[in-house]
Amino acid sequence: MARPQKSPSTRREAHVGGVPIRSLPKVSLHDHLDGGVRASTVFELAGEAGISLPVQSARELGEWFAEQAASDSLVDYLKTFELTVSVMQSADALTRIAREFVEDLANDGVVYGEVRWAPEQHTDAGLTLEDAVQAVQDGIDEAEEASDASGRSIRVNQILSALRQGDRSYEIAQLALDFRDEGVVGFDLAGPEDGFPPSRHRDALDLLAGEFFPVTLHAGEAAGPDSIRGALLDGRALRLGHGVRIAEDLEQVETEGDEVHVRFGDLARWVRDREVALELSPTSNLGTGAIAAWGDRIEDHPFDLLYQLGFCVTVNTDNRLMSRTTLTREIARLVEAFDYDIDDVLQFQLNAAAATFLPVEQREELIDLITDGFDR
């Protein structure tokens, strides 16, 4: 088996309050399967499948992914996903990639994760949607079992994404319901946000709402508050995939001295007061231009503004391969930018634990596990 790729965060261990961030129990809510494949695995599987690669080694391939993703060109960025998805067309490949995905999370100190992916992109070589979901579940099961034996236990569930630009969302919603008690806990819409609103997928979203099945939608990343409105009204989303542009519904009103007052729009007030979790992904949000209105440095990210105002903020990776990141690294970047202490980091994890799509008993267990881990 290929060795795990060295991630930037493992070269120089990041700390908060003297504690290695990696050792703290963490929750990952927004993490794409096809964006979190090991470069070494893509290299190996592409070789086996005769898929031509732009580079000669696994190490160079890792760099290629990061360069393409940082190139400011959407076409170059999408090429990276074309490549990972192209090696994820067999049950064996999906099982292996899901297993390694969970291993990498466990090694990063994640104790619970929800992995999202779009089954409709994995049927090119003849897999059925059901076989694809089962193959991913098999990989998750294997890794969970191994994690128990290693003493770094992790639990992971699936979120099935349908493509916004596609026309298979009803089928994918039905698929998610079919696997409801078999590892699938949520539904998502991914793909181009602008021009493809949730209202295009009303049948799927009505079906899920009628079955009381949890939904999180990408919204407030590539489009603004109207997209978030659509996710909440048409999608009945319980969480927002990024949702960072909710900050556009806040108006900063300067008063005397350096005291800053903020006026809330009705939408922002709803999202904050109803504690709709924001699946923020700092490095990715910078890379995709989601926070361009605020600036282009991590310090410009409205993460801290939203946190200080009482929004339910969570920290996520989005695409670990393309952003060359880990959950530890994302937290480390925020700690450095905003001078957070360990209690802040604990709060982000408690927010995420409470926002998981687990039944409430399991959420309470997770909250206890995290609290105990931070206490130690």
CB of 253 to Zn ion, least distance (A): 32
- Looking at residues 65 to 94 of the shown chain, list those that interact with Zn ion (rule: CB under 5 A): none
Q: In whole angstroms, what is the distance from residue 92 CA to residue 139 CA? A: 9
Q: Could you tell me which residues come within 8 angstroms of residue 82 by beta carbon, excluding any fewer than 6 positions away?
A: none
Question: In this complex, which beta carbon is closest to Zn ion, that of residue 90 or of residue 314?
Answer: 314
Asked whether 234 and 228 are in contact (CB, 8 A), the reply is no
Question: In this complex, which beta carbon is closest to Zn ion, that of residue 249 or of residue 318?
Answer: 318
Question: In this complex, which beta carbon is closest to Zn ion, that of residue 36 or of residue 225?
Answer: 36
Using CB under 5 A as the binding criterion, the count of chain residues that bind Zn ion stands at 1
Asked whether 92 and 127 are in contact (CB, 8 A), the reply is no
Task: Find, among 134, 137, 29, 140, the residue nearest to 366 by Cα.
Answer: 29
- Looking at residues 302 to 331 of the shown chain, list those that interact with Zn ion (rule: CB under 5 A): 318
Question: In this complex, which beta carbon is closest to Zn ion, that of residue 191 or of residue 265?
Answer: 191
Does the annotation mark 365 as catalytic? no
Task: Find, among 48, 16, 50, 13, the residue nearest to 336 by Cα.
Answer: 16
Question: In this complex, which beta carbon is closest to Zn ion, that of residue 114 or of residue 318?
Answer: 318
CB of 168 to Zn ion, least distance (A): 18
CB of 130 to Zn ion, least distance (A): 24
Q: In whole angstroms, what is the distance from residue 139 CA to residue 111 CA? A: 17
Neighbouring CB atoms inside 10 A of 310's CB total 10
Considering 114, 221, 279, 330, which one is annotated as catalytic?
Answer: 221
Task: Find, among 327, 262, 253, 248, the residue nearest to 294 by Cα.
Answer: 248
Task: Find, among 222, 239, 328, 232, the residue nearest to 278 by Cα.
Answer: 239
CB of 353 to Zn ion, least distance (A): 20
CB of 21 to Zn ion, least distance (A): 22
Residue nearest to Zn ion (CB): 318
Q: Which residues are catalytic?
A: 221
Which residues are near Zn ion by CB under 5 A?
318
